[in-house]
Structure 1
């Protein structure tokens, strides 16, 4: 499968949307409320789409169930990461570790053939982003706790990327697969929130209305584009390209959230951009 210009641009758009909703969660005063609104908002957008797309092949149900669990783990660990670290540290670490894991599993376990230039591009994107582990807090100390949480989040991202990519292909409909998975994920998240933060959940329709529609819509559209791309190109390449959202996250973090820009962040961004250029130039054959 080829990484065509259409797929390339779709994934770049998904990266922008993904960085945007993450910034909304990180910038919110109540991060539990923000995450709940985004997760539930995804389901609101999924329902009308399911009325016009085919139902997924029942053979994909086990992968769908696994995806629900992995997305839930990702959301909970991402939430914990944002409570302790900056967007410009947590986001790059979480997203940057994922393409390296996905590429390794794709090549070694699944036997997906990638050209040397493609592998080099994936590695450069991942290493450029994961170098954010070097970022220090304002006091000059490394935020190891936030880094550990972000790396764990990255493991969940890599896992659900592989599972969802295979599931969407097996389902025969990326939007149908994603829609049912999104609704199940939102229901389980809402139940957990009702048990853990009941007062917060009741505030979602009022205080969280903006995030419910803007954040939820951006999140739904971002991953819908990515899942479609998974059915059109190698999962490892799509995952690596998607994580260029770090560039958008860095710009949002610095210019909107007023987080500090330092040399490590600039170098990481340049490495990521170089990897994107290499990935686009690479011979696509898989």
Structure 2
């Protein structure tokens, strides 16, 4: 993987961790995410419509946009339900671990990418680091009865979320080969915001949704712009690097998030976070060194 692709991923990780920090401090998480998508779509609409007017998107391009919008709607719904049913420390690593684990193998089959063995080792090392960080105290429990993993509340939705991540990564890799990354991201953001609207209004109602906006207007606007920037940088990396390399390397954001938690939120830097973070970094280095 090239240095430029790695730099884009690192900048994306910083932006992604920053908006997740704002999300962590919000009230209703799903409503907050919906509002940040809505506000980002509105703020960036002049640039978005300018790019649309200057771009000729073919039928394949529109089909890819509609597909990724549908996948992202399911992503947010499944992730939200997973967090509602289960603990963050169990749901998050499954959701984020399955994506980078599946993506390289799907990329080989679907996109005919040639993946170096060192990149595969790196992807699996990253997944190991995620589980070491979040499941440190649960390994003994699940080692005795592996079937309990599937019976844990929220895990089913977490697995579905991870599968969705791997699928939209492949679609988006194909999408940015047809559409300029920042325009593609705008269409994705706008479409997902529109698609989530009925679900959010059904779930919490307009009164509660409006209250979330009034209480967190500044964090929502900042998070919306950071969300757009974070994934637009990833899409740019997709445009000239292998999705089987970029998707797993994105998990360096977990390490950035840990550092932010320690520095800003004064969270403990315990043994499991140190070992997990170092393991993820080793995996990213393996992918970076892969031809």
- In the TM superposition, residue 148 of structure 1 has moved relative to its aligned partner by 4.2
- In the TM superposition, residue 112 of structure 1 has moved relative to its aligned partner by 0.6
5 Å matches for 1:16-165? 16-53=14-51, 54-55=54-55, 56-83=57-84, 84-86=86-88, 90-132=91-133, 134-136=135-137, 144-165=152-173
Distance 1:60 1:261 in 2: 45
Contact 2:68 2:168 in 1 (8 A): yes
Distance 1:14 1:158, change over 3 A: same
Distance 1:235 1:229, change over 3 A: same
Report what 1:4 is aligned to.
Answer: 2
Distance 1:253 1:116, change over 3 A: same
5 Å matches for 1:223-234? 223-234=231-242
- In the TM superposition, residue 226 of structure 1 has moved relative to its aligned partner by 0.8
Listed as ranges, the gaps of 5+ residues in structure 1 are: none
The structure 1 residue matched to 2:248, chosen from 233, 240, 264, is: 240
Q: What TM-score, normalized by structure 2, do the two folds share? A: 0.84
Contact 1:46 1:183 in 2 (8 A): no
Distance 1:35 1:136, change over 3 A: farther
- In the TM superposition, residue 36 of structure 1 has moved relative to its aligned partner by 2.1
CA deviations on 1:111-156 (whole Å, 9 max, x unpaired) are 210112122212211222234452448xx99993244443332221
Distance 1:76 1:248, change over 3 A: same
Distance 1:23 1:61, change over 3 A: same
- In the TM superposition, residue 96 of structure 1 has moved relative to its aligned partner by 2.4
Contact 1:93 1:151 in 2 (8 A): yes
3-state SS of the aligned residue for 1:203?
Answer: helix
Listed as ranges, the gaps of 5+ residues in structure 2 are: 143-147
3-state SS of the aligned residue for 1:28?
Answer: coil
- Note the aligned Cα RMSD (angstroms): 2.6
Query: Does residue 1:269 correspond to 2:277, yes or no?
Result: yes
The structure 1 residue matched to 2:178, chosen from 149, 170, 175, is: 170
Distance 1:89 1:42 in 2: 30
Contact 1:41 1:215 in 2 (8 A): no
Runs of 4+ in 1 over 6 A off after TM superposition: 140-143
- In the TM superposition, residue 247 of structure 1 has moved relative to its aligned partner by 0.5
- In the TM superposition, residue 15 of structure 1 has moved relative to its aligned partner by 1.2
Distance 1:264 1:149 in 2: 25
Distance 1:22 1:103, change over 3 A: same
Q: What TM-score, normalized by structure 1, do the two folds share? A: 0.86
Distance 2:69 2:276 in 1: 31
Distance 1:147 1:133 in 2: 14
Distance 1:224 1:23, change over 3 A: same
**Count of residues paired in the alignment:** 277
3-state SS of the aligned residue for 1:271?
Answer: helix
Report what 1:190 is aligned to.
Answer: 197
- In the TM superposition, residue 254 of structure 1 has moved relative to its aligned partner by 4.2
